[in-house]
Structure 1
Amino acid sequence: MGILGRLSGAFRRRPAAVKEAAVKRDADPSDAGQLTLGAAQLKQLAVLSRMRRGVADVSISRQRLDLQAADLRKAMDSLESQASAAAGDAGAAGSARARLTIMGEQYGDLVSQRDALAEQESMLTAELAQLQARVAGFNVTAETLKAAQAAADARHTIARSLKDLQEPRPDH
C-alpha cells in the first residue's frame, strides 16, 4: 500500500480508532509494566472525564435538594397561613403548628444536606481544576518528548544520509 493509500485510510478512521492505533503502535514489549505516552494520556483523559461526571452528579444532587427545600418552604408558608386562619379553632391550629414544627426540622435537614453538598462540590471543583492543570502539564511534557524524539530521528536520518553521501561509490 502506498503512502497516499495509508494517509487516506487514516483520514477515514474514526478519531477514537486513530488514538487506539497510535497507542498500539507506541506499545513496546520491553516496557511490559509501563504505560506509553499515548496510553498515559488516554488514561488521564478517562480520569478527567470521571471527575467531571462526579462534579456534575454532586451539582445535580445539590440542585435537587434546593428544589426540595423550596417546595418544603412553600408548604411551610401555606401551613403557617392555615394555622393563622384556624386561630379560632385551637385543635386545628395546634395540629398545624405541630406539622409546621416537623416540616421545619425537615427543612433544616435539607438545608444542612444542601450545604454539605455545596461544600463537597466546591472542593471537587477545586480538585478538578488542579487535575486539569496537571494533565495539561503532562501533555506539554509529552509533546515536548515527542518533538525531541522526532528531532533525534531527523538528526539520525540526516547523519545517515551524509554518511552515505561521503562513502566512496564504486564506479560502474
Structure 2
Amino acid sequence: MSLMKRMSLIFRSKANKALDRAEDPRETLDYSYQRQVELLSKVRRGVADVATSRKRVELQVAQLEQQENKLTAQAKKALSMGREDLAREALTRKSGLAGQVSDLRAQQAQLQGEEEKLTMASQRLQAKVEAFRTKKETIKATYTAAEAQTRINEAFSGISEEMGDVGLAVQRAEDKTAQMQARAGAIDELIASGALDDASAIGQGDDIARELESLSSQSDVEAELAALKAGSTPAPQAIEGSDSTPEAQPAAQPAAEPVAEPVVEEQKENGRP
C-alpha cells in the first residue's frame, strides 16, 4: 500500500469516527422527516399542476364544442337560405374542430390518469410520512430516555467524566485535609514535648522567667534574713546565763557581732541609711 493510500485511509477512518461521535440520531431522524415532507410537498405541487393542465384542456374542449354547435347551426341556416356553399364551409370548419376536440379529449384522459396516479402516490407518501413521523418520535423518546438513564447510571457509578472530576477533587481535598491534620497533630506533640517553643509565648516566657527569678531571689533573701533573725534571738539568753556559767560568754560574743550586719543590709535594701 502506497503512502498516499495509507494517508487517505487514515483520514477517512478519523473523519468517520469524528462524524460518528458528533452524529445525533434525533437530528438525523428530524432531517430525514424534513426531506420526506419536502418530497410530499413536491408531489402535491405536481398533482396540482397536472390538475391545472387537465382543467385547461377541459375548458378548451368546451370552447371547441361550443364552436362546433355554432357551426352546425350556421350550416343549417345556410341550407335553409339556399346557400349550400356556406353550409359546406361551416361543416368543413366543424370537421377541423372535431379533430382538435378529439385530440384534446385524449390529452384530457391522459392528464386525468396522471392526476389519479399522482394523487394515489401523494396519499401513499403522506401515509408513509405520517408513519415515519410516529416512528421518529418514538425512537427519539426512547433514545432520550436511554441517554438520561445512561447518565444517571454513570453518575451513580462514578464513571462519568463530570463525576470523575468531582470524585478526584473530593479525594484531593480529603488528602490535603488529612495531611494538615497530621501536621497539626505532630506540631502539637512537639510543642508538648518541648522540642519546639511556642513562638507566641517567647516574650511572655522571658518576663515570667525574670519574675520567677526575682521572686525566687526575694524568697531566698527573706529566708536568709529570717534565718539570721532566728540565729540572733538566743543571744540575750546567753548573756543572762553568763553569771552562772562564765564559760558561755565567749560563745555569746561571736553571735552578737554579726547581728548588726544583717540589720544594715536590711536597711540598705529598704532604702534607709
TM-score (ref. length: structure 1):
0.74
1:130 corresponds to: 124
What is the aligned counterpart of 2:47 among 36, 55, 69?
55
- Distance in 1, matches of 2:90 and 2:128, equals 56
2:34 corresponds to: 42
Is residue 65 from structure 1 mapped to residue 57 from structure 2 by the alignment? yes
Larger Rg: 1 or 2?
Answer: 2
What is the aligned counterpart of 1:160 among 154, 157, 176?
154
Structure 2 residue identity aligned to 1:49 = S
1:120 corresponds to: 114
Deviation for aligned residue 1:128: 0.8
Is residue 108 from structure 1 mapped to residue 102 from structure 2 by the alignment? yes
Unaligned runs of 5+ in 1: 1-27
Structure 2 residue identity aligned to 1:105 = G
Unaligned runs of 5+ in 2: 1-17, 178-273
Query: Aligned pair in 2 of structure 1 residues 91, 146: CA closer, same or farther (>3 Å)?
Result: same
1:13-60 deviations in whole A, cap 9, x for unaligned? xxxxxxxxxxxxxxx72389x992122111111111111110000000
What is the aligned counterpart of 1:84 among 76, 81, 94?
76
- Distance in 1, matches of 2:135 and 2:96, equals 58
1:85-138 deviations in whole A, cap 9, x for unaligned? 000211100000111111111111111110110111001100111111111111
- Distance in 2, matches of 1:30 and 1:155, equals 21
- Distance in 2, matches of 1:59 and 1:65, equals 10
1:10 corresponds to: none
- Distance in 2, matches of 1:40 and 1:137, equals 13
2:67 corresponds to: 75
- Distance in 2, matches of 1:90 and 1:104, equals 21
Structure 1 residue identity aligned to 2:105 = V
Structure 1 residue identity aligned to 2:93 = R
Aligned residues: 142
TM-score (ref. length: structure 2):
0.48
- Secondary structure in 1 aligned to 2:119? helix
2:19 corresponds to: 29
Structure 2 residue identity aligned to 1:148 = T
- Distance in 2, matches of 1:115 and 1:56, equals 16
Structure 2 residue identity aligned to 1:104 = A
1:58-82 deviations in whole A, cap 9, x for unaligned? 0000000111111111111111110
What is the aligned counterpart of 1:145 among 128, 131, 139?
139
Identity over aligned residues, as a percent? 35
